[in-house]
Amino acid sequence: MTKKKRYRRGKRKSLLSVLFKYLTYSFFAGILTVFCVVLYFANGMPDLNNLQTAIRNPSVIVQTYDGEIVASYGDMYEDVVEVKDLPKYVPEAFMAVEDKRFLYHFGVDFIGFFRALYKNFISGKVVEGGSTITQQLAKNILIGESIVTHYDKSIARKVKELLLAVWLEHKFTKSEIMMMYLNRVYFGAGTYGIDAASRKYFNKQARYLSIYESAILAGLLKAPSKYSPSSHSKNSKERARIVLEAMQEQKFIKNADEIENKESGTAFSTENKIESNRLYFGDFVYEQAKKILGDIEDDITVVTTLDLDKQKAAEEAVNFYFDSESERYKFSEAAFICIDRNGGVLSMVGGRNYTSSQFNRVTQAFRMPGSAFKIFVYGAAIEYGYQVDDKISDAPVKIAGWKPKNYKWKEQGEMSVLEGFTYSVNTVCIRLALQIGIKRVAQFANKLGISNVSLNDMSVSIGTTPVTLKDLTCAYATFMDGLPIWSFAITEIRTKDGKVLYKRGQEKRHRIIDQEVLENCRILLREVIRRGTGRAANVDEKIYGKTGSNGDDDAWFIGFYDPKNNSNGVNDTGFAVGTWIGNDNNKSKMTHDSTGGRIPARIAARFFKNVIYLNKNNGNNVENSKKTKNAMDSVLDRL
């Protein structure tokens, strides 16, 4: 053998040995890296030994005093459903649409992942997900154990999810994983678990679900609010069709068309339907219940103050004027609250669409009340000694360069305190505040529940102190009896077996407004409705109130209906209302003429009319006929 051949062979052996050595090093380095990653991310992972028993949250049912369900949270029913107790097509529906290879992968499905990646690429959008049922369960567990949050999109969260999915597959059988998944998954409207969803949407236990109903529930998971059979039946049916086709493709069923034609007309139950916008009230009650009880450990029923007739009237009034006038006046949100004379919340509209935004504009939005704040200035002035017929100049004022203007008001010279309030003249209100001192104004507002009034800014006299609609309405309700008002929505909390955990007692309240002061303030508030800025709400002689506007950002009407003679003492009739319109983003302005005397006062008027007359006279629900609407608006437009 020549030296040249021996050299080449030796060189070849040398290259192979080096390559083998590097591959060996890389292999062990990879194993070490994986081990370190697993060790690092395994720290703080949940205890899997308790998963099969700790798979539900206590249920919280929010209802009216007569048993009508308003909202539900947690698992509505305590039944933990096992897969063996369900028809086989129930888990098959979920596998068909959520994880076709559930029975074959080890928690992570690389085939399914790359298939979804390919389909999404050729479609130019996301049409299929790559996560398995086990991964979805892992994510649910991590969120439920507060190890990650819903909004966590980090790589660390994804790694933890993958590790937990693999470990779940190692520790549990496929049947056990499917059981935990079906009992944890979210089906919309505060409902978790297959049995709770079956009872909610179809009024039956999960073990009695039909194939079509199973397809509806499986289809819900993609977007629970969009595909809800209660509120979006058309979308729900279209999505169920996709699930049935997937089941047929996977040979779980033979004929999707036959099943759809047979069952689609009768699948939806209208019983126990919860109006999604009433979840504004439900959320408010749920938070109050947690404050009362602390951690909720038992299934509970929360009995509330909600009056469904007044709730329907509020929704109808807000919807009517939003649909007909929001484009004209350029407002995108509206809110409404009604409370009784003791502070019980009778109705609440927290916004236009709960599904789009859960932000409650009754309880969470702090907005400037504008002229609706003036009652605190005038109340403090009357308490100080002013009479409603005392004269005040309406001439322009100038304070350290600040020159407040009056909206559509021509200077007349002197006018009475009553006229200044009736026509909401800014300069009269500011002069009153200057003469009695802003400290007295702040003290008067504070005892009615409005705090944080600045003592160094005279502009607060015309409404620059941010308030919530709830608090401002409670403050106005004080003028019904002169007693302090603290809003509440819960009258009783009891466990599922009837044990009373909380019962609201009768509060001892002491008068905070002197009787003479109260009567004069009521004169002011009534005159606004009779012939002032709030006359659009003058559908009854026992309505009192005030309008308010904050430039083009906020428009308000706050008032009350009080049918009793005030000198006869307190009774349980009458109620206060507050309504607001505007835009969440103040960069979007309403029209310059979108004052409180226009849409907010008209919303209140429609509510007053529906509640006081239509329901009172014949017990009917809110009248929706075109004739009645046109007749009422014709009257209002003449005011």
Does an H or E element contain 502, and which?
A: strand 500-503
Q: Residue 625 above 60 pLDDT? A: no
- Residue 77 in this model has a pLDDT that exceeds 80: no
| C-alpha torsion angle, residues 31, 35, 36, 39 (rounded to 10) | 180
**In 3D, which of 451, 454, 456 has the Cα closest to residue 467?**
451
> Looking at the structure, do residues 617 and 527 belong to the same domain, yes or no?
yes
Among the residue ranges 15-24, 242-251, 273-282, the one predicted with the least confidence is 15-24
Both 119 and 245 in a single domain? yes
The confidence band for 635, taking pLDDT boundaries of 50, 70 and 90, is very low
Token pair 């559930």 is at which residue?
A: 102
- Convert the pLDDT of each residue in 335-359 to its tens digit: 999 999 999 999 999 999 887 889 9
- Is residue 557 situated within a structural domain? yes
Which string of DSSP letters, residue by residue, matches 386-436?
--TT-EEE-S---BTTB----TT----SEEEHHHHHHTT-HHHHHHHHHHH
Strands 333-340, 500-503: pairing kind: unpaired
Q: Which residue has the tokens 């102190």?
A: 465
- Residue 161 pLDDT > 90: no
Q: How confident is the model at residue 567 (pLDDT cuts 50, 70, 90)?
A: very low
| Closest by Cα among 216, 223, 232 to 267 | 216
Residue 440: the pLDDT is 97
Distance separating alpha carbons of residues 336 and 321, to the nearest angstrom: 12
Let me know whether 589 and 471 are in one domain.
Answer: yes
pLDDT category at 80 given cuts 50, 70, 90 is confident
CATH number at residue 203: 1.10.3810.10
Query: Which of 124-133, 204-213, 400-409, 544-553 bottoms out in mean pLDDT, i.e. has the lowest?
Result: 124-133
Using the 3D structure, point to which of 227, 249, 274 is the last residue of a domain: 274
What does the pLDDT read at residue 607?
97
pLDDT given for residue 570 in this prediction = 45
Amino acid symbol at 133: I
Lowest-pLDDT range of 71-80, 159-168, 559-568: 71-80
Q: Residues 282-318, buried b or exposed e (16+ Cβ, 10 A)?
A: bbbbbebbeeebeebeebbbbbbbbbbbbbbbbbbbb
Q: Is the pLDDT of residue 185 over 80?
A: yes
pLDDT at 430: 95
- Give percent above pLDDT 70 in the chain: 77
CB 509 within 8 A of CB 474: no
Tell me: pLDDT of 3 over 80.
Answer: no
**Which residue type sits at 443?**
Q
**Does residue 270 sit in the same domain as residue 326?**
no
Residue 413 confidence class, pLDDT cut points 50, 70, 90: confident
Tell me if 361 is assigned to some domain.
Answer: yes
Tokens matching residue 176: 């056990």
Is residue 384 domain-resident? no
Output the domain CATH number for residue 514.
3.40.710.10
What is the reported pTM?
A: 0.69
Q: Is the pLDDT of residue 459 over 90?
A: yes
Helices (H), 226-372: 233-249, 256-263, 279-293, 308-329
Averaged pLDDT of the chain = 83
- Residue 452 pLDDT more than 50? yes
Q: What is the pLDDT of residues 507-554, one digit of tens each?
A: 889 999 999 999 999 999 999 999 999 999 999 999 999 999 998 999
Question: How high is the pLDDT of residue 622?
Answer: 43
- Mean pLDDT within 143-151: 66
pLDDT beyond 60 at 321: yes
Could you give the count of Cα atoms lying within 13 Å of 462 in the half-sphere of its Cβ? 21
Average pLDDT over residues 565-586: 77
- pLDDT, greater one: 2 or 516: 516
pLDDT confidence bin for 178, thresholds 50/70/90: very high
Inside any domain, residue 289: no
Domain housing 9: 3-43
The band of 81, judged by pLDDT with boundaries at 50, 70 and 90, is confident
Higher pLDDT: 203 or 40? It is: 203
The residue assigned the tokens 């039909």 is: 210
CB atoms inside a 10 Å sphere around CB 509: 15
pLDDT at 619: 43
Is residue 245 located within the same domain as residue 328?
Answer: no
Are residue 208 and residue 356 in the same domain, yes or no? Answer: no
φ, ψ at 475 (rounded to 5°): -60, -45
pLDDT in tens, 293-302: 988 888 899 9
- Alpha-carbon distance of 286 to 120, in angstroms, equals 40
- Is there a domain that residue 407 lies in? no
HSE, CB side, 13 Å, CA atoms: give it for residue 419: 13
Q: Is residue 260 part of a domain?
A: yes
Task: For residues 507 and 362, state if they share a domain.
Answer: yes
Tell me how far apart the alpha carbons of residues 74 and 559 are, in angstroms, rounded to a whole number. Answer: 37
Asked whether residue 144 falls in the same domain as residue 92, the answer is yes
- Do 495 and 361 fall within a single domain? yes
Count: domains in the chain: 3
Answer whether residue 93 is part of any domain: yes
Is 41's pLDDT higher than 60?
Answer: no
In total, the chain counts a number of residues equal to 639
Say whether pLDDT at 206 is over 50. yes
Q: Tell me which of 71-75, 386-390, 436-440, 450-454 is least confident.
A: 71-75
Flag whether 180 is in a domain.
yes
Same domain, 510 and 621: yes
Residue 27 sits in the same domain as residue 144: no
Q: What is the pLDDT of residue 531?
A: 95
Contact (Cβ atoms closer than 8 angstroms) between residue 406 and residue 423? no
Same domain, 340 and 252: no
Backbone angles phi, psi at 287, to 5 degrees: -65, -40
The whole-number pLDDT of residue 636 equals 44
